Amino acid sequence: MKDLAHIRSKAAFIIDMDGVIYHGNRLLQGALEFVEWLSHNNKAFIFLTNSSERSPLELSQKLARLGIMVDPEHFYTSALATAGFLASQRPGGSVYVIGEPGLIQALYDVGFTMNNVNPDYVVVGEGRGYSLEALERAVRLITNGARLIGTNPDLTGPAEGGIVPACGSLVAPIELATETKAYFVGKPNPLMMRHGLRRLNSRREDTAIIGDRMDTDIVAGVEAEIETVLVLSGVTSIADIPRFPYQPKNILEGVFEIPE
């Protein structure tokens, strides 16, 4: 199920990264040619990723190391969306963070401070700093009144060695221990899609979203009424698709199919 001519006719693209452009530090088939096609055809595009570990500059540098040159303004992350959301809710607030520098820097940039005593929020993203000690502190802080925020609801993510736990899995023990539910800011939260469209300066009718996950990328596109393109190069397999009550408009093996 694919209409390549219709996909190619779109003026703007919202593109996931993990499982679409790369796995870890391995570039996926046709990723370079796809980005070159976007540029040569004057397509507006933004990489909209649920990963909170890296800043747009770091993501730009990562792609450069893999041979793809893209300016930082073409990236928007769940860390930036989370920071923007919290700044709108409680300007000048404080947080206890379980996550990587990309998330911490995004929160600093909107005026938040780090606080492991009585923060307004406990914010959880992906990262290697997750430990039993951090989990215990998060539970204690939430029990004392802090609100729980997750950068994204993904349970797993693709990596070079296979599937790895993602933010949703890391948040789950905290939810269970505190009997609370986290608020997730990343896809499929409409906040992320609105940010993407705003940055593209594009109408939803002229835009397509390309992703590898039915439960974040595709449902986000369906709910935003944006053309959906599922690629099978990441988390979702062809056998998974019938399990979902919504379906992608297009199914491709990978982005290598899109360039003419």
Please report the domains of the chain, with CATH numbers, ordered by start residue: 4-50+187-257 (3.40.50.1000), 79-184 (3.40.50.1000)
Catalytic residues: 16, 18
**What does the block give as tokens for 157?**
């993510």
Tell me the three state secondary structure of residue 101.
helix
152 contacts 186 by C-beta, under 8 angstroms: yes
Looking at the predicted structure, is the pLDDT value of residue 160 above 70?
Answer: no
Peptide bond into 188 cis (omega under 30): yes
Instruction: Say if strands 162-165 and 207-211 run parallel, antiparallel, or are unpaired.
Output: unpaired
Band of residue 129 on the pLDDT scale cut at 50, 70, 90: confident
Looking at the predicted structure, is the pLDDT value of residue 159 above 70?
Answer: no
Q: Which residues of 142-163 are buried (b: 16+ CB within 10 A; e: fewer)?
A: beeebbbbbbbbbbebbbeeee
**What percentage of the chain exceeds 90 in pLDDT?**
87
Looking at the predicted structure, is the pLDDT value of residue 162 above 90?
Answer: no
Arithmetic mean of pLDDT over the chain:
94
What is the distance in angstroms between the CA of the first residue and the CA of the last residue of the chain?
A: 18
Range in 47-56, 80-89, 123-132, 143-152 the model is least confident about? 123-132
Query: How many C-beta atoms surround the C-beta of residue 116 within 10 A?
Result: 15
How far apart, in whole angstroms, are the C-alpha atoms of residue 106 and residue 111? 9
pTM, two decimals, is: 0.91
